[in-house]
Copies of this chain bind each other. A is one copy, B any other.
Amino acid sequence: MARGVNKVILIGNLGQDPETRYTPNGNAVVNLTLATDESYKDRQTGQLVPKTEWHRIVMFGKIAEVAGQYLRKGSKVYIEGKLQTRKWQGQDGQDRYTTEIVVDINGQMQMLDSRGGDGGGMNQGAPAGRPQQQSYNQPAPQQQGGGYQGQSGGYSQQPPQQQSQQHPPQPSPQHSPQQQQSSMPEPVDDFDDDIPF
């Protein structure tokens, strides 16, 4: 529920491959940088000057999974999300603020590459087959708490094992104490399947 409207709509290209992390609960969190270009006319020279605007995107839930799997550096994508500015501490102890576009359960993502080309070519990790134009709305709404702390701790770079199945506790030491502190936001918990297509 919201008193107000907070909506961002972007179409642009990824500057890098997406970075995928996982919450202790196995939910994907993806960070992207997206470029939108605009040209303006220089007043002195009359020349058209290209200007690129870079956007930081954070995706949660199923959209994040799809983005992590199918988007690559250079991919063109439509994104709908909301603005969120988070505060963090610089190494000098001073407050810094970073504004991101959060794409959660209420957001949308749509891949716009008609051929799904990864734009980079050197992404050996790219999946063999990929969808060409597909849009995702998350399956269930969720409120974003104040807990997300950007790139900071508590996230695993490893995908969860079979998140949708019951399985015995992981003995693996890779899953560290960070998992214990399960106060991390868990944007979407009720996925009903892993791969939507």
Residues of B within 8 A of A173 (CB): none
A25 CB-CB contact with B under 8 Å: yes
Q: Would A4 and B40 count as touching, CB distance under 8 A?
A: no
Residues of B within 8 A of A186 (CB): 43
A108 to B72, CA, bound (A): 27
Which residues 118-151 of A sit at the B interface, judged by CB distance below 8 A? 133-148
- Interface size on A (CB < 8 Å)? 89
Residue-wise, chain A 21-55 has the 8 Å CB interface mask toward B (1 for contact) of: 00111010000000111111111101011010111
Q: Would A147 and B60 count as touching, CB distance under 8 A?
A: no
A187 CB-CB contact with B under 8 Å: yes
Which residues 65-124 of A sit at the B interface, judged by CB distance below 8 A? 76, 78, 80, 82-85, 90, 92, 94, 96-99, 101, 106, 108, 110, 112-115, 117
Shortest distance between the CB of A91 and any CB in chain B (Å): 10
A18 CB-CB contact with B under 8 Å: no
* A149 nearest in chain B by CB position: B197
Chain A: residues with CB nearer than 8 A to chain B? Answer: 1-13, 23-25, 27, 35-44, 46, 48-49, 51, 53-55, 60-61, 76, 78, 80, 82-85, 90, 92, 94, 96-99, 101, 106, 108, 110, 112-115, 117, 133-148, 154, 183, 185-188, 190-197
